[in-house]
Amino acid sequence: MVETINATVYKGFSDTKVGLTVVATGGKVYVDSLSELFATTALQAGDEVVMVNGNLVEGMTSNEVVGIIKSCTGDVNVVAKRGAVAVAVAPSAPAAATAVKVTSPAAAIAGAPPGNAPAGGVWGTVKYVGSDTQMKACIACLCCGPLGLCILACPSDEKDAYCVNGRVYDAGGKYICPKDDKFAPARQR
């Protein structure tokens, strides 16, 4: 039986240690060890990490996952699963240790809809105007004047999303927008 674990910790500053060490193997990310903030959560060594702050981590390296965690301030949400396959996690280098707070939609584990979104949709990614796109627009404005604002029409930031009945929801189940060319369904493996 597969059990879903939601862990949440509060990280006041980006350099705060949360005490979560992860290791990536075979395209999956596993909890290696816990200390500090995460030691008080339900996570255990060997749990498979599925999502961090709404980002699916399958196929990521341990450094990429740690990068997501390190860049967070405030709540850090982690969804993991336990019981699918027994995994023996060997001790790893302490470089991957980080503090994290976890609360994320467990529904993404099985491809189920997030939050109150109706069933029958598909997971994918949606492009939006975030910090990366805004930075590019500022640079373009410095080089090209107001014409540089055209960059905002082609956002480069991406996040996981769920689309059903022509409506797009974020990983937490919040309605984002109607389906358009900015939503890209995940490729089947």
| Chain segment 165-181, per-residue pLDDT in tens | 888 887 777 777 777 76
| Chain segment 11-22, per-residue pLDDT in tens | 777 677 777 888
133 in the same domain as 53:
no
78 in the same domain as 51:
yes
Domain span holding position 46: 3-104
Domain boundary among 78, 104, 130: 104
**pTM of the complete model:** 0.46
133 in the same domain as 59:
no
* Ramachandran assignment for 127, one of left (phi > 0), alpha (psi -120 to 50 degrees), beta (any other): beta
**Torsion on CA atoms 142, 147, 153, 155, rounded to nearest 10:** -20
Residue 107: CB atoms within 10 Å: 20
Which CATH number characterizes residue 78's domain?
2.30.42.10
Question: Which tops the pLDDT comparison, 178 or 47?
Answer: 47
* C-alpha span between 184 and 136 (Å, rounded): 22
Those residues with Cβ within 8 angstroms of residue 43's Cβ, 6 or more apart along the chain or in another chain: 5, 7, 20, 31, 34, 78, 80, 102
Distance between alpha carbon 148 and the CA centroid of its chain, in Å?
Answer: 30
| Chain segment 52-69, per-residue pLDDT in tens | 888 888 888 888 888 888
132 in the same domain as 94:
no
| Residue indicated by tokens 């709540």 | 75
Number of structural domains found in the chain: 2
The mean pLDDT value of the chain amounts to: 75
